[in-house]
Amino acid sequence: MGSAEPLRTMTCTAMNEDLHCHSTVSDGWLSPAEVVRRALANGVTMLALTDHDEVAGIDEALAAAAGTALTLVPGVEISVSFLGETVHIVGLGVDHRDSRLVDGLAQVRRGRDERAGRIAAELERVGIRDALAGARRFAHNPELVSRAHFARFFVDSGLMPDVNTVFRYYLAKGKPGYVEHEWATLEEAVGWVRGAGGVAVIAHPGRCRFADGDMKRLLERFVACGGEAIEVVSGSHSDAEVRRFAAIARQWGLLASRASDFHGELESPVDLGRCAPLPPDLNPVWSRLAGNDADGQAVRAQGD
């Protein structure tokens, strides 16, 4: 009898993109390299690391992805104020060394730091002491204290059972630890992303608390300043929201993104690469991010 066929490595060419997630550089639980390894284990073929207001994790993620089956897209999630609400703009395929982007994000982080002090002062008024020091214990990046870190401090102290409950009682708009804050403008955020060669995406639009008229204003201003894509599938979207934002993508001619917004096993409803597929008629934003990172080179947005 002849010898058995040698084992061959099967190459899976099916796309499994996940274009929004977090590491310890912002409020995720895993380091950038651990995020890449988890994504690979979950079969992700293209991953964007999009930490809040910071690109400091990109080099570590690129190094972890080099020589693997995963294409790492350098990204960021920028906090924006628009019509009195916070909107998140994801940038995909950015040059993470672009000086205007880097300087703009540093400015946003300075505001974030100042906001953290005001959050702690408000919590002090309702009897929650030393919240800033408590939140800082969970923030690996001292320049990036997020409300998620405050929420972890509450849970760790036994004051609340889980982070969702902390948001509900203390950190959501209208609650004692919520403070108004001026983040970047929409034009600044989209301008920084485009200036760095990236594609700007409206993140988890289902979490924007806008009435229809204000959502239209957001879309008009976003498109007018060069925004091109919207998260249709997001870890925080219901099926109805996927349908709603798919219709908006068609109507406004926007590219569609698919993204878990993964922060960690215990805090995220959807794991890396485990989102529903995009409706097949939409133009996927990943088509603009095609590239090869085999040498650890950054994947940039292609063409216009």
| Site for ligand AMP, rule CB under 6 A | 27, 52, 79, 146-148, 163-164, 167, 263
Q: Residue 256: which of ligand AMP, Mn ion, none does it interact with, CB under 5 to 8 A by kind?
A: none
What is the spatial distance between Cα 36 and Cα 22, in angstroms, rounded to a whole number? 11
Minimum Å gap between C-beta 167 and ligand AMP is 4
CB 49 within 8 A of CB 28: no
Q: Would you say 116 or 246 has its CB closer to ligand AMP? A: 116
Q: Which of residues 241-280 bind Mn ion (CB under 5 A)?
A: 261
CB 76 within 8 A of CB 55: yes
**49 C-beta neighbours (distance < 10 Å), count:** 32
26: number of CA atoms within 13 Å, CB side?
27
Query: Could you give the 3-state DSSP secondary structure of residue 76?
Result: strand
Q: Would you say 181 or 217 has its CB closer to ligand AMP? A: 181
**E strands of 63-222, at which residues?**
71-82, 85-92, 199-202
Q: What is the DSSP letter of 11?
A: P
Minimum Å gap between C-beta 132 and ligand AMP is 13
Query: Could you give the 3-state DSSP secondary structure of residue 166?
Result: helix
* 88 lies in the binding site for Mn ion (CB under 5 A): yes
Among 18, 27, 188, 293, binds Mn ion (CB under 5 A): 27
23: number of CA atoms within 13 Å, CB side?
26
Minimum Å gap between C-beta 184 and ligand AMP is 12
Q: Would you say 22 or 96 has its CB closer to ligand AMP? A: 22
Minimum Å gap between C-beta 5 and Mn ion is 45
Minimum Å gap between C-beta 121 and ligand AMP is 16
Binding site for Mn ion (CB under 5 A): 27, 77, 88, 203, 261
